[in-house]
Amino acid sequence: MSGKKETPERRRERLRGEELKRNPTGNMNDAFNRAEMGNLADLVGGLGWKGMGILLLVIIIGFIVAFLF
């Protein structure tokens, strides 16, 4: 697959894999932290722009409702 036809999600995964091959022990701490706290980049990449927009809308409405009560 050429670089121009590569999707951003595949590019992220390819770069992550290359980094893991270059420095496997250095990424161990990052992997533990990601498992505990989650990763915003993975969330946004998996949802897409429509899903992220809906998620932000739900969060904003939740804060407004919580503020009113």
pLDDT digits (tens, 9 = 90+) for 21-58: 887 666 666 666 666 666 666 666 667 778 888 888 99
Q: What is the pTM of this model?
A: 0.41
Residue 3 included in any domain: no
Task: Quote the number of domains for the chain.
Answer: 1
Residue 21: which domain range? 8-68
pLDDT at 65 over 60: yes
DSSP string, 2-69: -TTT--HHHHHHHHHHHHHHH-TTTTHHHHHHHHHH--HHHHHHHHHHHHHHHHHHHHHHHHHHHHH-
Residue with tokens 């992550």: 16
Confidence of residue 13 (pLDDT cuts 50, 70, 90): confident
Residue 1 included in any domain: no
Residue 2 included in any domain: no
